[in-house]
Copies of this chain bind each other. A is one copy, B any other.
């Protein structure tokens, strides 16, 4: 990033979200985003491949943090406990900015293409966690169920956090959803 553009990525992200919320995602151009952020379109493209990427730039880091957490869980941890550690990590990575997450979710829900992209992201996350569990020695079929269920708990807990006032942290909400699942299964 050039010296005279401190946190251009952050300003672009904020400008994009505002425009997506105010006038709609489809109606917003990269030129408008750059203008509102006070940078050139060229600077936009130095940070993001396209206007969709502004909303999904963090996906890789999120997946990496969750996979790392599965790998780092104690050898004695069950498959579901390892997945729980991944949810804790997710809470750390994306739970810091409730206002951003809330607006991002609203934009994504309102747009079929973005919604589909989000679903694909979730499917990839489950695949990555399945792989990490298998590397821990969990049988593939069990790993798949554990990872997919963990992803489901993540999605449901995240939606709950985003649609609430955000007083409780994301990690706490995810733990609550996981406890709810355990309660449902217990009877």
Contact = CB atoms under 8 A, between A and B. Distances in A.
Interface of A: 78-80, 112, 115-116, 119-120, 123, 141-142, 144-146, 148-149, 151-153, 155-156, 160, 177, 180-182, 184-187
Given A116-B119, A119-B120, A152-B152, A145 B181 contact: yes
A153 to B, nearest CB: 7
Nearest to A155: B148
A142 B177 CA distance: 9
B142 A152 contact: no
Nearest to A115: B120
Number of copies: 2
Chain A contact surface mostly: helix
Given A78-B187, A80-B185, A187-B78, A180 B123 contact: no
A80 B184 contact: yes
A38 B123 CA distance: 39
A185 to B, nearest CB: 4
Given A116-B120, A120-B116, A141 B180 contact: yes
Contacts of A146: 184
B149 A181 contact: yes
